[in-house]
A and B are shown apart, each in its own frame.
Chain A
Amino acid sequence: MQSSVMHVVVVGAGIVGAAVAEALSLDGHRVTVIDKTLPAGGATAAGMGHIVVMDDSEAQIALTSYSQRLWDERAPSLPLTGERMVCGTLWVAADDEEMAEVHRKYAFYRQRNIEAAVLDPKMLRDAEPHLREGLAGGLLVPGDSVVYPPPIVASMLETVTHRGGCVAVGKAVVAMKGSEVTLDDGTTIACDYAVNATGSNASLLSPEFAIKPRKGHLVITDRYPGFVKHQLVELGYLKSAHKSTSSSVAFNVQPRPTGQLLIGSSRQFDNDTSEVDYAILAKMLQRAIEYMPAISDLSVIRTWTGFRAATPDKLPLIGPHPDDDRLLLATGHEGLGITTSLGTAQLISDYIALRAPAIPLQPYLPARLLAGVKHAD
């Protein structure tokens, strides 16, 4: 089985689908990628492109740190338009409670050999002079980076086509199982494996999994080179991002190589229209100005929204459907899809090749979300 060439259909040409398709092509499989709109047309283009190691859980740090290693390894071959910049993440602590979290996070990272440094208030202001006075300190994680994902997706899909695969855009899939994918015009495509990599839309094709779109807003400014030097995230983000129901905003600012700043972030459930919600946008910008007052002098040139693919337990779905081991899921990456796309692609290609994965697949297996659900015999 391992030695034969499989035909794999990947549904969804965001960064997760593209990375999976690329990995399978490099393994020698025949790959067909199908997307109902365009490559990188959803959360991939809407997000910040922050490659970040996150420590919400052991499973999350395993996948994010493995994926970051893969990003670092492929850095020399990324297209220049992918705008990779290793700016590090600076987690900003507003008070003593958040400073305690800085120390906990520091110990956790250092135990896992991830470089990190605790900053006192003076070091914080020296690192980012536009932050307001009176903050408690921060944690610098220098290995984190930022990218501009759409050209990277294009280069992944180029690898697929160079290896004889097919990328079909503007075609909607209406049903899929491991052996067959059906398009909206009734065409069926036979395959050996099928991968649902449709992000926040994944429940349309796999309704048994509760994947909810979690809306976010971003703003981009004009060019202000040197205004910030690191990806800045408030530690209160952890509190707000963990709430799974209500709307929340957090201070989250990213420098781009052009000198522009991306300003986020917002999280909303139960809002599935793509329109900008000015009330939450205002809250988001007020939050940014609280941390960095000089932001109020910058010109915003564009604002937009996107949808994260959220799962109930904050971990992605990677691996076989419990009732169909040829139907694979690669979705539910929420705010970490750019980071974890590369790890996801390796886990999926290892599964098909029956190779031992670099990290255990078990925590991400889709079956966990169906536990407690009685299956038909």
Chain B
Amino acid sequence: MPIDPSLEKVSFTLNGRPATAAPGCSVAVAVMMNGVSHFRRSVTGQPRGPLCGMGICYECRLTIDGRPHQKSCQSVIAAGMVVQCDE
């Protein structure tokens, strides 16, 4: 769905801080538009972020509303959402 810039921004929580995003955008986009590109850590501790943007590579997983390993590129941002990246 196209993002309409005239719509009011959505407020959500990113890594414990208030953040906003354009309504209708994916969680991956919402996180990156807030200047965060480190979404999670690999099993060996390497930083990881979105790669394919279409739900295949699993690199963009983060914790949404307490549920770990959610694919942020396949989730739509919503008001009040709590989004947490790996430390």
Q: Within the assembled complex, what's the spacing in Å between the Cα atoms of A222 and B41?
A: 13
Contact A224 B68 (CB under 8 A): yes
A-B contact count (CB 8 A): 9
Q: Within the assembled complex, what's the spacing in Å between the Cα atoms of A258 and B43?
A: 7
B68 — which chain A residues lie within 8 A by C-beta? 222-224
- Give the interface residue-count category, chain A: under 10
Q: Within the assembled complex, what's the spacing in Å between the Cα atoms of A297 and B43?
A: 20
Q: Within the assembled complex, what's the spacing in Å between the Cα atoms of A299 and B71?
A: 11
Interface residues of B in 40-81 (CB under 8 A from A): 43, 67-69
A299 — which chain B residues lie within 8 A by C-beta? 69
Q: Within the assembled complex, what's the spacing in Å between the Cα atoms of A222 and B71?
A: 13
Interface residues of A in 286-339 (CB under 8 A from B): 297, 299
Q: Which residue of A lies closest to B69 (CB)?
A: A222
Q: Within the assembled complex, what's the spacing in Å between the Cα atoms of A196 and B47?
A: 47
Q: Within the assembled complex, what's the spacing in Å between the Cα atoms of A222 and B68?
A: 9
Q: Within the assembled complex, what's the spacing in Å between the Cα atoms of A222 and B69?
A: 8
Interface size on B, residues (CB 8 A): 4
Contact B67 A223 (CB under 8 A): no
Give the shortest distance, in Å, between A223 (CB) and chain B (any CB): 7
Q: Within the assembled complex, what's the spacing in Å between the Cα atoms of A99 and B43?
A: 38
B69 — which chain A residues lie within 8 A by C-beta? 222-223, 299
Q: Within the assembled complex, what's the spacing in Å between the Cα atoms of A154 and B56?
A: 33
B67 — which chain A residues lie within 8 A by C-beta? 297
Q: Within the assembled complex, what's the spacing in Å between the Cα atoms of A222 and B67?
A: 12
Q: Which residue of B lies closest to A221 (CB)?
A: B69
Q: Which residue of B lies closest to A225 (CB)?
A: B68
Q: Which residue of A lies closest to B70 (CB)?
A: A299
Give the shortest distance, in Å, between A125 (CB) and chain B (any CB): 20
Q: Within the assembled complex, what's the spacing in Å between the Cα atoms of A224 and B68?
A: 8
Give the shortest distance, in Å, between A80 (CB) and chain B (any CB): 12
A297 — which chain B residues lie within 8 A by C-beta? 67
Q: Which residue of A lies closest to B71 (CB)?
A: A299
Q: Within the assembled complex, what's the spacing in Å between the Cα atoms of A299 and B58?
A: 12
Q: Which residue of A lies closest to B68 (CB)?
A: A224
Query: CB-CB contacts of A212-226 with B at 8 A, as 1s and 0s?
Result: 000000000011100
Query: CB-CB contacts of B13-50 with A at 8 A, as 1s and 0s?
Result: 00000000000000000000000000000010000000
A223 — which chain B residues lie within 8 A by C-beta? 43, 68-69
Q: Which residue of B lies closest to A224 (CB)?
A: B68
A258 — which chain B residues lie within 8 A by C-beta? 43
Q: Within the assembled complex, what's the spacing in Å between the Cα atoms of A299 and B68?
A: 9
A222 — which chain B residues lie within 8 A by C-beta? 68-69
Q: Which residue of B lies closest to A222 (CB)?
A: B69
Give the shortest distance, in Å, between A294 (CB) and chain B (any CB): 11
Interface residues of A in 228-261 (CB under 8 A from B): 258
Interface residues of A in 263-307 (CB under 8 A from B): 297, 299
Residues of B at under 8 Å CB distance from A?
43, 67-69
Residues of A at under 8 Å CB distance from B?
222-224, 258, 297, 299
Query: What are some 6 contacts across the A-B interface (CB < 8 A)?
Result: A222-B68, A223-B43, A223-B69, A258-B43, A297-B67, A299-B69
